[in-house]
Amino acid sequence: MLVDGTPHRTVDWRDGALVLIDQPVLPHSFRLWTTRDHEQAAEAISTMVVRGAGAIGAAGAYGLALATRQAPDGDFDAYVAQAKHTLANTRPTAQNLFTGLEHVAAAIAAAGGGERPDDARDAALAAAQAYADEDAAACEAIGEHGEPLFQDGWGISTHCNAGWLAFVDWGSALSPVFKAHRAGKQVQVFVDETRPRGQGARLTAWELASEGVPHVVLADNAFGFLASRGEIQAVITGADRIARNGDVANKIGTFGHAVIARHLGIPFYVAFPSSTIDAACAGGSEIPIEERSGDEIAYTWGAADDGSFTRVRTTPLASPARNPAFDVTPGGLIDGLISEFGVFPASEDGVGRILAARAAKAAD
């Protein structure tokens, strides 16, 4: 996607280094974050310099490739194993992180690991780059499959950020929106601010403005009111993990939106690349839900009138806070799962068909 006319990927590799778009400073400034150290890459995932299911999957993959370059020949396998553990323990919910790490780890092993460290280093980087390319291609395909679901003149609601900043490129939930807009459809996007970190207000709105897509930012609690007035004709979100039965973990607040959408008869779609599916997870109750620091509730970051980027407290000093980062939406509330292979029901059969399509592609 373009930033001021220059193409960028959210997660990239340049001159032997991992390059990320520094997301916490958006939309007030745009800057790139670079490292050649896997521990710094892990810290970037943990502190949400990079966030979004696909983006952290690619960052983890490249992080493990960095670790192979840092690993000494004599202790290669142990060093890489520890690095993989460090990267895997940054964030627990998004399945793509673990998919990316396993993809690179398998390539390292196939290349001989510590017995042929130079070959393993080359294989790790090639695997990480292939994983990132696959993420971008899958998200563009999601856009092609999802775009026909939206009619000209519709209002479309989305929650959190599942645009190109959340993936390597294109995004999941916003990819069909970008495709619809580029096809000439007149759509209006209702962007939930998505407390507490404001990924909708800060990131989704910035992406849509950059692309020229008509949109409006809402307080999270305004969704039900506007939907009930007929201003919203569809809801689309991303996902951080898909269980085998079609249950979906996504940013906190998604479940409530799905309930309202079902009550009002508004179609509710979830878009994701197949790498988000956790085939070992039977249902949503098994998905680990990250609980982040209460400081994200108690404080807000933003640009002051003097242009400085600052933090202000919004809650009483004596008041504790709870901050679950995700919730689970049952498959029964979802009208369609949009993957790179098409649109499927949110059920065990639908998820199984996506997995079968992924396996068939891998076998080609």
CATH number reported for the structural domain that contains residue 112 in this entry: 1.20.120.420
Are residue 102 and residue 156 in the same domain, yes or no? Answer: no
Residues 6+ apart with CB under 8 A from 265: none
- Using the predicted structure, report yes or no on whether residue 364 has a pLDDT greater than 90: no
The mean predicted confidence, pLDDT, of the chain is 97
Per-residue pLDDT band at 301 (split at 50, 70, 90): confident
pLDDT in tens, 196-255: 999 999 999 999 999 999 999 999 999 999 999 999 999 999 999 999 999 999 999 999
- Using the predicted structure, report yes or no on whether residue 25 has a pLDDT greater than 90: yes
Are residue 124 and residue 258 in the same domain, yes or no? Answer: no
Pairwise CA distance, residues 105 & 357, whole Å? 23
Are residue 287 and residue 311 in the same domain, yes or no? Answer: yes
pLDDT in tens, 318-363: 999 999 999 999 999 999 999 999 999 999 999 999 999 999 999 9
| Alpha helices (runs of H) in the chain, residue ranges in sequence order | 38-46, 53-70, 76-88, 95-110, 117-146, 175-182, 199, 205-211, 223-228, 254-264, 295-298, 348-363
- Residues recognised as catalytic: 240
Structural domain ending residue among the three candidates 93, 121, 140: 140
Are residue 243 and residue 150 in the same domain, yes or no? Answer: yes
Domain around 104:
2-140
- The predicted pLDDT at position 1 comes to 87
* Total tally of structural domains belonging to the chain: 2
| Closest CA relative to residue 326, chosen from 84, 162, 138, 89 | 162
Are residue 86 and residue 172 in the same domain, yes or no? Answer: no
pLDDT in tens, 105-138: 999 999 999 999 999 999 999 999 999 999 999 9
- Using the predicted structure, report yes or no on whether residue 309 has a pLDDT greater than 90: no
